[in-house]
């Protein structure tokens, strides 16, 4: 792919349902992406290989989602200087708080931009926003997306508005 694209990776196929929300956001914004499964712990060599290949092949932003002892986003960040967005995933007995703390507490020098527990949609939008800093057409689509969200809030308000005056 010659245009900037997003590399998405998750620790297990059990993460796919949540991580597909990142794909949905990128589809809506017409941003190309690839999605893979690779584990920081179970397949460390595969993780390194996928990230270094994607980096070499023009991936502009990396999204990594993992649950439990969620080291995948940090490991991805170790192999690239491109922006990495971490998605802490729920599903553990600690309901994702474990993953949140693992993803957000990166050591100084190796940042991971962390979204909310299960926040894969925001990860997709944030990745698009990063690419849009150098892509005016994509910036326009992001502005249109914001406007339609605002319009839908007004529409919802109309349905619930009630006056007691």
At its nearest, how many Å lie between ligand RP5 and the CB of residue 34?
A: 18
Taking CB under 6 A as the criterion, which residues in 75-134 touch ligand RP5? 89, 91
Are the C-beta atoms of 28 and 142 separated by less than 8 Å? Answer: no
Segment near ligand RP5 (CB under 6 A), from 21-29, 63-71, 118-126, 137-145?
63-71
Q: Under the criterion CB under 6 A, does residue 47 sit at the interface with ligand RP5?
A: no
CA distance 107 to 76: 14
Question: How far does Cα 121 stand from its chain's mean position?
Answer: 7
Segment near ligand RP5 (CB under 6 A), from 8-16, 49-57, 136-144, 148-156?
8-16
CA distance 86 to 130: 14
Within 10 Å of residue 147's Cβ, how many Cβ atoms? 10
Choose which of 28, 32, 39, 55 interacts with ligand RP5 (CB under 6 A).
Answer: 39
């Amino acid at each position: 792919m010659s245009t900037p694209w997003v590399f998405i990776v998750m620790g297990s196929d059990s993460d796919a349902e949540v991580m597909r929300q990142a794909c949905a956001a990128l589809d809506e914004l017409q941003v190309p992406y690839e999605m893979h499964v690779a584990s920081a712990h179970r397949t460390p060599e595969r993780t390194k290989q996928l990230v270094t290949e994607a980096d070499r092949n023009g991936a502009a932003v990396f999204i990594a989602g993992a649950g439990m002892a969620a080291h995948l986003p940090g490991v991805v960040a170790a192999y690239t200087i491109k922006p990495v967005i971490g998605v802490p995933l729920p599903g553990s007995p600690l309901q994702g708080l474990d993953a949140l703390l693992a993803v957000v507490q990166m050591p100084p020098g190796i940042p991971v931009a962390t979204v909310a527990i299960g926040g894969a949609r925001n990860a997709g939008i944030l990745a698009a926003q990063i690419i849009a800093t150098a892509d005016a057409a994509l910036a326009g689509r992001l502005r249109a997306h914001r406007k339609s969200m605002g319009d839908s809030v007004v529409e919802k308000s109309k349905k619930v508005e009630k006056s007691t005056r």
